[in-house]
């Protein structure tokens, strides 16, 4: 869509909605991208995509309706569906959409990230070269580049247009029955190192061969950022959402001011941390973002709110509305969730290093209890990974786990909306085959 077509669409939707509802919000997203898929080390699929879509949210007498469509031309149908949905929804306290904001520069657009087959080919070829560092085979992998524009406008006068770019790479490798997986994604090309991605995957596949069985028992463990992010995602982040808290779905609900994690552990959302994968000055409802200290030195400070949940429960929005693509209403989420703790070398003392886990999504989101199979586990000591472990299962509770953190690494990894270190935890139950 050309910019003037976007302007006309906004005017048309607002004019049509004006006599029917109190307020209307419109998201227009468009973009294009290319992708290459590897199979057994060769590119077998090249993909190009062009997309456009809209989300319309209407509010009338405290009743909220939402509809979306990937055909902007079908906006009338979409507006009718949003209004019809709003009529069915229960009324809630509502204080109005967020108004105009100051224009600011975009934070997630890299002018050097050109959506071109040549760049795509360079990235994937370099990743494949990196994968040749150790003796292992590529099973699958991909590289993608995209660029897009999202416009958020509402009848309170808000108008934000944000262009963005995105690059992502992933690779899966195998040697014998040992697998290695590595991935990275960012808005900025210079933050992605394709050679290292390939090299890391090949090292884990190569070094993980001939793993030994592990005796069931209690061990000190080190969770990589990937492994940690999956456990936090299933258990901790939903428990910090204001909606879940007030609905009775959070174990943290009545614990403001209480010690919920280890005394040296802090968790906060810093939307403008430069390591972020797609930063913006505004949240998904156009509210200016700010740092949100959720848990400080183990003590729970606050929960996250969007406009809707804040109005309903007499709170203030924490600018925590996020949008997961073109799938309807914004929901409560985080921008750059950061975990901090005492920094030290996590691999100095003897431990079981856990690169990844299988089945984190099966954790009990209410209690935090989980049980996962380990991926690429190694015995580690003296700062290095040593003997690989064939297989083992880690069982425990995410909250207890974060109560027993000994130290965290200085190095972090950005994984979607989280920026995490590796963490060392004492006394965890591992179930082995012996």
In the region spanning residues 260 to 319, those forming contacts with another protein, defined by CB under 8 A, are none
8 Å CB contact between 46 and 34: yes
Give the residue ranges of DSSP H helices in 260-327: 307-313
Q: Does 371 bind another protein (CB under 8 A)?
A: yes
Q: Which window, 19-27, 33-41, 151-159, 260-268, contacts another protein (CB under 8 A)?
A: 33-41
CB-CB neighbours of 94 under 10 Å: 18
Is position 73 an interface residue for another protein (rule: CB under 8 A)? yes
Our finding on whether 71 is near another protein (CB under 8 A) is yes
**CB 391, min distance to another protein, A:** 5
Q: What's the min distance (Å) between Cβ of 322 and another protein?
A: 17
Residue 34 lies near another protein (rule: CB under 8 A): yes
Stretch 213-232 residues interacting with another protein (CB under 8 A):
216-218
CA dist 415 and 180 (Å) reads 17
Shortest Å distance, C-beta 263 to another protein: 20
Is 68 one of the binding residues for another protein (CB under 8 A)?
Answer: yes
Are the C-beta atoms of 182 and 360 separated by less than 8 Å? no
Q: Contacting another protein (CB under 8 A), which of 296, 301, 364, 404?
A: 364
Q: Which stretch binds another protein (CB under 8 A): 18-26, 82-90, 97-105, 284-292?
A: 82-90
257 lines the binding site for another protein (CB under 8 A): no
72 phi/psi in degrees, rounded to 5:
-55, -30
- The answer to whether residue 127 forms part of the interface with another protein (CB under 8 A) is no
Is 372 a binder of another protein (CB under 8 A)? yes
Site string for another protein, 166-205 (x = CB under 8 A): ------x-x--xxx--------------------------
User: With binding defined as CB under 8 A, does residue 241 bind another protein?
Assistant: no
Burial class (CB in 10 A: 0-12, 13-18, 19+), 258: exposed
Per CB under 8 A, 48 contacts another protein: yes
* CA-to-CA separations, 222 to 204, 346, 413, in angstroms, rounded: 16, 7, 15
Residue 167: closest CA among 138, 143, 151: 143
What's 213's DSSP letter?
Answer: P
Nearer to another protein, 61 or 411 (CB): 61
Examine residue 387 and tell whether it contacts another protein (CB under 8 A): no
Residue 220 is inside which H or E element, if any?
strand 217-223
Does 366 bind another protein (CB under 8 A)? Our answer is yes
User: In this structure, is the dihedral angle defined by the CA atoms of residues 288, 289, 290 and 293, taken in order, positive or negative?
Assistant: positive
Among 206, 370, 378, 399, binds another protein (CB under 8 A): 370
Q: Which of 324, 208, 335, 206 is nearest to 273 (CA)?
A: 335
Residues 6+ apart with CB under 8 A from 234: 360, 361, 363, 365, 370, 398
Query: What CA–CA distances, in Å, run from 199 to 125, 194, 407?
Result: 12, 9, 27
Can you tell me the distance from the alpha carbon of 214 to that of 170, in angstroms, rounded to the nearest whole number?
A: 30
- Under rule CB under 8 A, residue 70 binds another protein: yes
Tell me the window of 13-21, 87-95, 105-113, 161-169 that interacts with another protein (CB under 8 A). 87-95
Alpha-carbon span 378 to 387, nearest angstrom:
6
- The length of the chain, given as a count of residues: 434
Give start and end residues of each alpha helix (H) in 148-193: none
Q: Which is nearer to another protein, 376 or 406 (CB)?
A: 376
Shortest distance, position 43 Cβ to another protein, whole Å: 5
Residue 169 C-beta: closest distance to another protein, Å: 14
Q: Position of tokens 């890299």?
A: 110
CB of 15 to another protein, least distance (A): 21
Q: In whole angstroms, how close is the CB of 200 to another protein at the nearest point?
A: 16
The answer to whether residue 40 forms part of the interface with another protein (CB under 8 A) is yes
Helix ranges, 45-116 (H): 75-88
């Amino acid at each position: 869509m050309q910019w003037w077509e976007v302007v006309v669409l906004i005017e048309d939707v607002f004019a049509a909605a004006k006599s029917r509802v109190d307020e209307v919000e419109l998201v227009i997203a468009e973009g294009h991208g290319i992708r290459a898929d590897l199979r057994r080390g060769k590119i077998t699929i090249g993909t190009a995509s062009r997309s456009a879509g809209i989300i319309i949210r209407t509010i009338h007498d405290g009743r909220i309706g939402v509809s979306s469509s990937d055909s902007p031309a079908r906006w009338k149908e979409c507006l009718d569906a949003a209004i019809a949905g709003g009529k069915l929804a229960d009324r809630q306290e509502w204080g109005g959409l967020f108004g105009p904001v100051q224009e600011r520069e975009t934070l997630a657009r890299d002018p050097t990230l050109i959506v071109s087959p040549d760049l795509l080919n360079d990235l994937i070829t370099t990743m494949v070269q990196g994968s040749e560092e150790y003796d292992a085979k590529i099973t699958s992998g991909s590289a993608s580049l995209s660029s897009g524009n999202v416009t958020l406008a509402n009848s309170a006068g808000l108008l934000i247009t944000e262009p963005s770019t995105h690059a992502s790479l992933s690779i899966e490798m195998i040697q014998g029955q040992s697998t290695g997986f590595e991935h990275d994604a960012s808005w900025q090309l210079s933050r992605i190192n394709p050679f290292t991605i390939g090299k890391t995957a090949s090292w884990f596949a190569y070094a993980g061969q001939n793993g030994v069985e592990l005796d069931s028992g209690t061990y000190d463990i080190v969770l990589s950022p990937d492994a940690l992010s999956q456990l936090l995602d299933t258990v901790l982040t939903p428990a910090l959402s204001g909606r879940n808290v007030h609905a009775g779905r959070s174990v943290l609900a009545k614990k403001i001011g209480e010690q919920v994690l280890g005394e040296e552990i802090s968790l906060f959302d810093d939307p403008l941390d430069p390591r972020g994968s797609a930063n913006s000055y505004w949240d998904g409802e156009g509210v200016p973002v700010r740092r949100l200290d959720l848990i400080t030195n183990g003590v729970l400070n606050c929960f996250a709110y969007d406009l809707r949940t804040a109005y309903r429960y007499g709170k203030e929005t924490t600018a925590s509305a996020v949008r997961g693509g073109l799938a309807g209403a914004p929901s409560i989420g985080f921008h750059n969730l950061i975990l901090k703790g005492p920094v030290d070398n996590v691999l100095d003392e003897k431990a079981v290093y856990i690169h990844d886990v299988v089945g984190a999504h099966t954790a009990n989101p209410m209690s935090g209890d989980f049980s996962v199979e380990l991926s690429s586990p190694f015995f580690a000591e003296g700062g290095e990974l040593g003997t690989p472990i064939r297989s083992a299962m880690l069982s425990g509770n995410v909250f207890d786990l974060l109560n027993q953190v000994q130290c965290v690494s200085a190095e972090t990894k950005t994984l979607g909306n989280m920026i995490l270190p590796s963490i060392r935890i004492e006394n965890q139950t591992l179930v082995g085959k012996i």
